[in-house]
Chains A and B, each alone.
Chain A
């Protein structure tokens, strides 16, 4: 019979063998993973303006909603987060539920784009994308879904052009920047954003990534990778991890002038909900938004805290506002398997109901 110490030594040895085997398999999985690219769902470019491209997704359902849905993603990071892989694709699930989906890809701003204003993104690019989808589908008003910063942009656009939008869906989008629970809100107040633009021109995507990593330094820079090692022997997990990793660090630079206005007027000035925000000299009055609004937020969002999203209801003119929370984080809302079961039907049902009765 083994003594206690011998049992312990055996335990350590077993764990060592288990770990070594796992690492060997993991290494093989990493080598075999190859280039991770592509998105889960087929789509076609249908409209281009400068670096912005509008894509139209291939229909997968016979019963299609008569009102098209345009998705406006944030300028930060890339829109394919919503279609990361077949079993984690909000796009695919919405298509299966009969949505006719267009999406904006903002592209990668280069040095030449440093003078593009936030106003241009709203009044030129988003506006032209909306007009294109209206023309392409023959609808006078369409459904607009804004994600994160794209949600703020969508709300601003709807307030300025209410006649072009039938229903507005907002996901993890910031509106009230006064709270202290979001570290980005707090840090932004201390920044001399004009100096940043003046010295860097465009804002490097990697610098934004550093600030995002600092929001949860040990979780995002260490624990995430330690946990990855736990499942590195599973090829499917390795592929999922690499896909997510690719997305996280696929960060376009931000056009300097646009970034400056976004930080100065919204993060520092909180002008949108104060009714002081202007686009090309026109005041943005959120009371002009009389469309039905579905406002979705993530309860554990460390980038856009609920306190920044929830108050929208108080400032809009709409009397049909549905505010819904999911018990996940900012990214989990797109990729968590639990959310993927509940979120697409919620959005699709909400849009179907309001599109049918208003067309």
Chain B
């Protein structure tokens, strides 16, 4: 069967990649230790090794769309709804179903935050990705904790497990203490300015990505609380038999509980701070990226964004001036028209 062959090839491919990546990571780690700085990199090594496994890799490769993940969740609900109704009050069974749903739900949330939403966001993100790619291509890949970045805004945190989630607070701190320091080293030689700009841009992007786990953790916690409420609500209802109306009811309960949970989350001070921090770091990264791009493009005889802004500002000021002069001219013309005509004798 061709499908079986594809699966086999795919498995081997994944195995090869993950094994060689693990070998590289271990060797790299050993080399760093040999340089006498092992304490700084201990946490980083653990992190790398925890990510490099077939399931984490496949999750990234397998990322499709929110729609498909949502379909997965709905399918799960369709399968389990009769079970919930049948075993209402069975705590153990309910917990198992909740856990299963949460796993599917977490995939959905991951997809939602991993996808480029509107075109504007995609446009803003594009230069960062290009920079990361070029940086990796230039041999900086070993310095990039993510290797080559997956498509879009995704990142390979294994957050579908509780252990994975415990990495959330660890990662930003580890980054700041380890790899982040490399990006803040001064540049040398002919390309010093460009190199420093590029490193600052990558550092800013990493700091932006570091805010996302915090963002995501809050979303997942709110989702879990909502899902608990949904299952509790349904299991307490007196449903004798699952009918089409039961599914409609389930959907309504699901939507209203999630809406309430998310609005409550969005209103909280913690979330507002996280949201603002994420936006600010993202914008800071974009600014730094723009600086690098402008530097790179300065070899070409084309105006930079800064040049164009100067032109726009000059046009804006000129328009204002012309308006003012037109107004003065109009006032003078009016005054002249209103004043009595005088004949001047020569």
On chain B, the residues within 8 Å of A226 by CB distance are 251
Smallest distance from the beta carbon of A339 to chain B beta carbons, Å?
A: 24
Instruction: Report if B258 contacts A (CB, 8 A).
Output: yes
- Give Cα A124–Cα B326 distance, bound, in whole angstroms: 13
Given that A195-B283, A199-B286 are known contacts, is A50 also in contact with B120, CB under 8 Å in the complex?
no
Instruction: Report if B301 contacts A (CB, 8 A).
Output: no
Partner of A187 from the list B124, B275, B316 (CB cut-off 8 Å) is B275
Q: Are A206 and B121 in contact (CB under 8 A)?
A: yes
Q: Are A206 and B119 in contact (CB under 8 A)?
A: yes
On chain A, the residues within 8 Å of B308 by CB distance are 111
On chain B, the residues within 8 Å of A216 by CB distance are 259, 263
Given that A115-B316, A195-B283 are known contacts, is A210 also in contact with B121, CB under 8 Å in the complex?
yes
On chain B, the residues within 8 Å of A201 by CB distance are 309
- Give Cα A196–Cα B284 distance, bound, in whole angstroms: 9
Q: Are A218 and B272 in contact (CB under 8 A)?
A: no
Given that A8-B243, A207-B120, A216-B263 are known contacts, is A222 also in contact with B309, CB under 8 Å in the complex?
no
Q: Are B287 and A210 in contact (CB under 8 A)?
A: no
Q: Are A199 and B244 in contact (CB under 8 A)?
A: no
The chain B residue sitting closest to A181, CB to CB, is B267
- Give Cα A195–Cα B288 distance, bound, in whole angstroms: 12
- Give Cα A222–Cα B70 distance, bound, in whole angstroms: 11
Instruction: Report if A248 contacts B (CB, 8 A).
Output: no
Main secondary structure of the interface of A (DSSP, over half): helix
- Give Cα A115–Cα B266 distance, bound, in whole angstroms: 32
Instruction: Report if A192 contacts B (CB, 8 A).
Output: yes
On chain B, the residues within 8 Å of A8 by CB distance are 241, 243
Contact with B along A161-202 (1 / 0, CB 8 A): 000000000000000000010010011011110011011110
Instruction: Report if B117 contacts A (CB, 8 A).
Output: yes
Instruction: Report if B146 contacts A (CB, 8 A).
Output: no
Partner of B255 from the list A12, A112, A113, A222 (CB cut-off 8 Å) is A222
Which of B120, B124, B319, B320 has the most CB atoms of chain A within a 10 A radius of its CB? B120
On chain A, the residues within 8 Å of B86 by CB distance are none
Count class of interface residues, chain A: 35 or more
On chain B, the residues within 8 Å of A207 by CB distance are 118, 120-121
Instruction: Report if B273 contacts A (CB, 8 A).
Output: yes
Q: Are B120 and A15 in contact (CB under 8 A)?
A: no
On chain B, the residues within 8 Å of A113 by CB distance are 312
Q: Are B276 and A190 in contact (CB under 8 A)?
A: yes
- Give Cα A11–Cα B119 distance, bound, in whole angstroms: 43
Given that A15-B244, A111-B312 are known contacts, is A199 also in contact with B120, CB under 8 Å in the complex?
no
How many cross-chain pairs have Cβ atoms below 8 Å apart between A and B?
93
Smallest distance from the beta carbon of A8 to chain B beta carbons, Å?
A: 6
A 114-162 contacts with B by CB, 8 A: 114-116, 120, 124
- Give Cα A289–Cα B151 distance, bound, in whole angstroms: 55
B 310-328 contacts with A by CB, 8 A: 312-313, 315-316, 319-320, 323
Contact with B along A101-117 (1 / 0, CB 8 A): 00000000001111110
Contact with A along B207-236 (1 / 0, CB 8 A): 000000000000000000000000000000
Instruction: Report if A318 contacts B (CB, 8 A).
Output: no
Q: Are B118 and A210 in contact (CB under 8 A)?
A: yes
Instruction: Report if A204 contacts B (CB, 8 A).
Output: yes
Smallest distance from the beta carbon of B275 to chain A beta carbons, Å?
A: 7
- Give Cα A207–Cα B320 distance, bound, in whole angstroms: 29
Q: Are A50 and B276 in contact (CB under 8 A)?
A: no
On chain B, the residues within 8 Å of A4 by CB distance are 241
Q: Are A183 and B263 in contact (CB under 8 A)?
A: yes
Instruction: Report if A46 contacts B (CB, 8 A).
Output: no
On chain A, the residues within 8 Å of B118 by CB distance are 206-207, 209-210
On chain B, the residues within 8 Å of A183 by CB distance are 263, 266-267
Q: Are B283 and A186 in contact (CB under 8 A)?
A: no
Q: Are B272 and A190 in contact (CB under 8 A)?
A: yes
Q: Are B262 and A217 in contact (CB under 8 A)?
A: yes
Q: Are B262 and A219 in contact (CB under 8 A)?
A: no
A/B interface sample: 9 pairs, CB < 8 A? A111-B308, A191-B276, A192-B280, A199-B283, A199-B290, A218-B258, A218-B262, A222-B255, A223-B255
Q: Knowing that A112-B312, A206-B121 are A-B contacts, what are 9 other residue pairs whose CB atoms are under 8 Å apart, sorted by A's residue number?
A: A11-B243, A120-B320, A187-B275, A195-B287, A199-B284, A214-B266, A215-B266, A218-B258, A223-B259
Please provide the 8 A-B residue pairs with the shortest distance between their CB atoms, ordered closest to farther. Answer: A190-B276, A206-B120, A206-B118, A204-B120, A199-B283, A218-B259, A115-B316, A15-B244
